[in-house]
Amino acid sequence: MNTHVPHRVRLSVAAFVAATSAQSAFAHEPKGVSSVCDLTPPTPSRLGFAALPTPLSPEDRRVVKEAELNFQKGNHAEAKVALDPVVAKNPNDGELRYRLAVASAAAGDVRTACAEISRLMELDLVGFAKRYEDDKAFSVMRSSDAGIRVAEHMRAVEVLWRQAMTTGLPAMMSKGARGGMGIWKPSYLRGGVYLHEVQRFLPLEPGVEGASAALVNPQARTVSVLKFATSACKSDFCPHISAVQVLVFSLDDFRRPPSRWRSGEETTTMIDLRSGPRGTAVRIHDCCCWKGCTSPWTSIGPKRAASGDSQSMEMSVDFRGSLLGIAPPGIRIAKGGLLSVGAAAMPLSAEHEPTAVHDILVDESAGARLVFSATDRCECSAKKEGPIFHYDLSAINAKTGTSTVVEHNIGTGAAMLDGKKAVYVQTGDTVRRWPSIASVGKENGMSIMPGVVLVVPRSPSGNCCGL
Amino acid sequence: MAKGDTGKAVSVPKNSPATVKVPSLKVYVREAFFMADQGECWIPGSGIAKLSFEIDGKAVAGKNATTNNPHKVAVGLVLTVTLHEAIETKARAATRAKSVECSEATLSLAGVVDGKHVLKVIPEGSSASSDAAGPTTSSTQSRLYRPLNIEFSVKNGLLTAAQETDPNDAKAVVTHGHVTAFKDDELCIDLKPDWMATSAGVHKRTKAVDLIVIHHTGGKVIGPALNEALAAKGPHYEIDPEGHVVKFVADDHVASHAGESWWDGNPSCNSYGIGIEIVHWQPDPPGSAPIPPVQDAQYASLIALLNKLVKDHKLKPHRIVGHSDVRTSKADPRLLGSDRQTCPGGMFEWTRLEDEGLGMIPVKDVKIEDAWGGYFESYKEPLRFGDSDTRRVYGGKPRKDISGVIGELQGDLLTIGYSVKVTGEFDDYTRQAVDRFKRHFYTGTRSALAPKSLAVSDRIDEDTASMILAVSMSIP
């Protein structure tokens, strides 16, 4: 799991859980300890994260470590008592909740174990459901009344989870820092949907250690997670990306292991991920072994997505961040305009450069369209030597065929619709929301939950006319 | 029985001379860079169109004796691929892609008797130039190669030896092409181009050439650097581990190699500089693994090329610098950036160039005691980051008897060409320039003189101070 629990502590979780498993929780329920499992039906407002999980404080880490030692000594109740307040202080830390549930189960506190597991399913169903179902530590509980209640709760959560997937905003919850040479160093990343009405982020994939980007496409029923290593290397042609991995998670069955793709190349500069009606595909930009420094597209997982008319999404990820292109079926940008099947071209401002990455947002019922273009290229000419780095947002009236530039600025970002046709525009680190395409340019957008982004925003390419 | 030109079996009359036993030779030629220990190091290689052949100075007839189209060969279908694959598989990781594209010609060997002969492979437009590199101006062709001479032996109708040779010097090592395999009546040949045209990041120069910037590729093989130069950006020249020079951009065009940079008062070294990449890499982190040095053949080619460029562009020999000397940072185009501070690498021996009169050559017998306010006449503590003329703090301590030391240091660094500002404060600009100076001048035969503070960019001891002064005084 990709949490802020330090590696040293996370390693010890295995021993913690293994110890519990060996002792088979609930094998003998102590007398006088409650075994009641009263669960409140799940609601959208309790789903997912209300905020980015924060790292444990040094004091909390100390307490967790102490609890682990107590647990290993068989002092389960003491471990549980120690973990309780730490969980209360870190409500978005799923790993901690799981450990509290394990300690509670071992201590025979069914009420707490049941409550924590149930709460955990609301928080992060996809991250913990299979783990709970497979964990020997809960084998007795799962077949008990409490376990049956938990299973019912999980099913109820899953119903909401599937509903949220269709109404929310495909997004990432991301945290990281920019290092030397503009290298983005992710410390937390989950792919999921943002639910604006309840201001929560719901993960759709279980979390991948070291993930750098996620391409969430509920229409295609997949979340693709990308991870890689970056070496500054400080030679020409650097930084280099290596150990590229793509994991494609199916939204039809979140318990199914992801389809995986790995690249053995060591001098990659960029990775393109594509998700659409034909499934998921990846290609790398690596001058090592490919003509034009670009590999062919390689399919990952099922060749066809669940929905034949899903939008096409393409994410280009490098060591600085990512760009995201979105095109609904039958619509594209070409020859300076917006082209739709069976309709006249709608001209766009020249600021929407042909080399830009475009997000085309369409609300057919409102006759409105929006085009966000992010330009990140390098110009090495007699006139200019350096990065060209800007975004442009234009609103298009589909009835009149006219377009209006709403925003033009330095930087990059992306734009996307949620399932209810609300518009989200990310510029830099900030994501703003408008209730509809028509309201963009007329109202000020509202900032959404910090940490929720459409892309990891890129910094401009430095020294782009150099090696 | 032997095969004739048509491929049909022909009978060999009794008592006929041995010449009819091998009436044909299949020759497979491709553009490739092959290294014995690395395998093919450029993917994709490809067949070379429009070749002609001579044997012992006479044009050879035969099927496809002049090839017009590269012959695409699928993996494992024909012997040529088997031959290439055999050597590649031995040398390369099996996961890597392989080039299987060759031009194929069947040469008539009628009249070729047992013994030694010379096959000359002549790509279209090639010349037997002895220039250090490819064409001085833009060529309209996408590729230019030199002819390759191959000495081969025939015995009883079979090839018994085949080796590339220099017709002018039998002892010379040929680097622009190789026989990669031969067997019976088949011969595989790789040619390396002198010229590979690219338009990536290239435009016509508006300023005269006034600087040469030396880089290293950061890789063991030339492949990635070739592809980058052809697809995105690159230098004017690259020198492979055998010393073969490939040219991509005409000298009168700007190439994209230096990036944000500053030298001797002028920003953007691309606009007035020529870039040369040496295929070599720097351990990361330094000292992590032993690596081979920059090869003698690479120095020889580099020196020949530099001499040619200095002559062609009437350059002063001291106008030869490393990428690390000039590269500034994205955030501040006057501050030397750390992202290329190892280019062309700590193993690049600048003294090899100095021995040939190229590059910045420190003058001898410099007395630092007479300079920099006489600081080192009175004190031994190294100057350091934070020292200040304004506060008269030197070596980290107040020295009220001395002044103007840092200003003089900065003046000398500026004279050499480094991007510093003369402020009298030992600031970031000064620190970075001192770091680059040490990386440049304490290499090669001078590495033994490296001060203890070599790894510490914010210290200048007396030896380093003397060296800075000596280099500064060498600048005309």
What does the mean pLDDT of chain A come to?
Answer: 88
Q: From A164, A194, A226, give the residue that closes a domain.
A: A164
Residue B407: inside a domain: yes
Is there a domain that residue B361 lies in? no
Interchain contact, B234 vs A467, CB within 8 Å: yes
Closest alpha carbon within chain A to B45: A291
B409-415 average pLDDT score: 97
Domain annotation covers residue B309: yes
The confidence band for A414, taking pLDDT boundaries of 50, 70 and 90, is: very high
Which of B354, B381, B398 is the C-terminal boundary of a domain?
B354
- Domain assignment of residue B292, yes or no: yes
Give a yes or no: residue B6 inside a domain: no
Q: How far apart are CA B235 and CA B268, in angstroms?
A: 14
User: Are residues A23 and A117 both part of a single domain?
Assistant: yes
Give the per-residue pLDDT at A13.
44
CATH code of the domain in which A276 resides: 2.120.10
- Residue B41 sits in the same domain as residue B80: yes
Distance from CA of B9 to the nearest CA of A (A): 41
Token representation of residue B470: 């000596």
**Picking from A21-30, A428-437, B363-372, B451-460, which range would have the lowest pLDDT averaged per residue?**
A21-30
pLDDT confidence of residue A390: 95
Q: Look at residue B405 and tell me whether its pLDDT is greater than 80.
A: yes
Residue-wise pLDDT for A75-89, tens only, equals 999 999 999 999 999
- Looking at residue B286, its pLDDT comes to 56
| Residue at B311 is within a domain | yes
Q: Are residues A137 and A187 in the same domain?
A: no
Domain membership flag for residue A464? no
Does the residue A459 lie in any domain?
Answer: no
Is residue B19 pLDDT above 70, yes or no?
no
User: B186: pLDDT confidence band, cut at 50, 70 and 90?
Assistant: confident
Q: Tell me, yes or no, whether B123 and B263 share the same domain.
A: no
Tell me how far apart the alpha carbons of residues B127 and B125 are, in angstroms, rounded to a whole number.
7
Amino acid at B19: T
pTM over 0.90: no
Are B215 and A292 within 8 A, CB to CB? Answer: no
Q: Choose from A2-11, A444-453, B61-70 the range with maximum mean pLDDT.
A: A444-453
Q: What is the pLDDT of residue B8?
A: 33
Torsion of CA A420, A424, A430, A432, to 10 degrees: -80
What's the mean pLDDT in B274-292?
Answer: 79
Single residue among B190, B208, B231 that ends a domain in this structure:
B190
Q: Is residue A242 predicted with pLDDT exceeding 50?
A: yes
A21 and A139 within one domain: yes
For position A13, which CATH number holds? Answer: 1.25.40.10
Q: Could you tell me how many CB contacts below 8 A there are between chain A and chain B?
A: 142
Determine the pLDDT at residue B80.
38
The domain containing residue A39 runs over which residues? 7-164
pLDDT at position B130: 63
Distance CA B378, CA B385 (A): 19
> Is residue B130 domain-shared with residue B209, that is, in the same domain?
no
Q: Which run of H or of E encompasses A416?
A: strand A413-417
A12: CB partners within 8 A, 6+ apart: A65, A68
Considering the domain architecture, whether residues A175 and A312 belong to the same structural domain is answered as yes
Q: Are residues A141 and A182 in the same domain?
A: no
Residues of B in contact with A181 (CB under 8 A): 339
d(CA B149, CA B133): 18
> Distance between CA atoms of B403 and A369, rounded to whole angstroms?
68
Instruction: Kindly state whether residues A153 and A174 are assigned to the same domain.
Output: no
| Cβ proximity of A303 and A279 under 8 Å | yes
| Distance from C-alpha of B182 to C-alpha of B184, rounded to nearest angstrom | 7
Q: Which of B227, B262, B268, B343 is the best mutation test for A, with the most CBs of A within 10 A?
A: B227
Whether residue B263 sits in one domain with residue B378 = no
Q: Give me the mean pLDDT over the A35-43 stretch.
A: 81
Question: Look-up: residue for tokens 């600021």?
Answer: A351
Say whether B224 and A267 touch across the interface (CB within 8 A): yes
Domain boundary among A147, A164, A181: A164
- Are B99 and B226 within one domain? no
Note whether A33 and A136 are same-domain residues. Answer: yes
CB contact under 8 A, A467 and B277: yes
Instruction: Find the domain containing B303 and state its range.
Output: 198-354
Task: Between A301 and A36, name the one with better pLDDT.
Answer: A301
Pairing of strands A346-347, A337-340: antiparallel
Is B265 inside any structural domain? yes
- In angstroms, the CA B419 to CA B261 distance is 9
Residue B129 pLDDT: 64
Asked whether residue A371 is assigned to any structural domain, the reply reads yes
Contacts of B78 (CB under 8 A, 6+ apart): none
Alpha-carbon distances of B246 from A236, A296, B141, B258, B319, rounded to whole Å: 17, 27, 14, 18, 22
Which residues pair with residue A424 across a beta bridge? A416, A433
Nearest beta carbon to residue A235 from set B216, B260, B268 = B216
Task: Report the sign of the C-alpha dihedral through residues B396, B402, B404, B409, in that order.
Answer: negative
Digit-coded pLDDT (tens) for A44-97: 999 999 999 989 999 999 999 999 999 999 999 999 999 999 999 999 999 999
Q: Cα separations (Å) of A71 from A12, A14, A67, B163?
A: 11, 12, 6, 74
Least confident of A188-202, A267-281, B17-31: B17-31
Q: Which candidate from A181, A233, A287 shows the least CB-CB separation from B224?
A: A287
ipTM over 0.85: no
Q: Which two tokens stand for residue A159?
A: 């119903």
- Tell me how crowded residue A222 is: count the other CB atoms within 10 A of its CB: 30
Residues 301-320, chain B, touching A (beta carbon < 8 A):
none
CATH number at residue B267: 3.40.80.10
Percentage of chain B exceeding pLDDT 70:
79
Lowest mean pLDDT among A122-131, B107-116, B243-252, B380-389: B107-116
- The answer to whether residues B179 and B262 belong to one domain is no
For residue B219, list chain A residues with Cβ-Cβ distance below 8 A. Answer: 235, 237, 267
Last residue of a domain, one of A164, A189, A214: A164
Q: What is the DSSP letter of B338?
A: S
Residues B143 and B226 in one domain: no
| Cβ of residue B332 closer than 8 Å to a chain A Cβ | no
A200 and A140 fall within a common domain:
no
Cα separation, B280 vs B215, whole angstroms: 9
Based on the domain organization, do B411 and B444 belong to the same domain? yes
The A residues from 87 to 106 touching B (CB cutoff 8 Å) are none
Within-domain flag for A312: yes
Beta bridge partners of A318: A270, A321
Percent of chain A residues past pLDDT 70, beyond the cut: 91
- Tokens representing B40 are 């093919």
Same-domain pairing of B116 and B244: no
Report if residue B99 sits inside a domain: yes
Of A198, A207, A196, nearest in space to A174 by CA: A207
CA–CA distance from A210 to each of A202, A250, A254, B159, B218 (Å)? 19, 20, 20, 57, 26
Who's near B140: CB < 8 A, 6+ residues apart?
none
Q: Which of B93, B228, B331 sits opposite A237 (nearest CB)?
A: B228
How many domains in chain B? Answer: 3
Number of structural domains in chain A: 2
Average pLDDT, chain B: 83
Do B133 and B218 share a domain, yes or no?
no
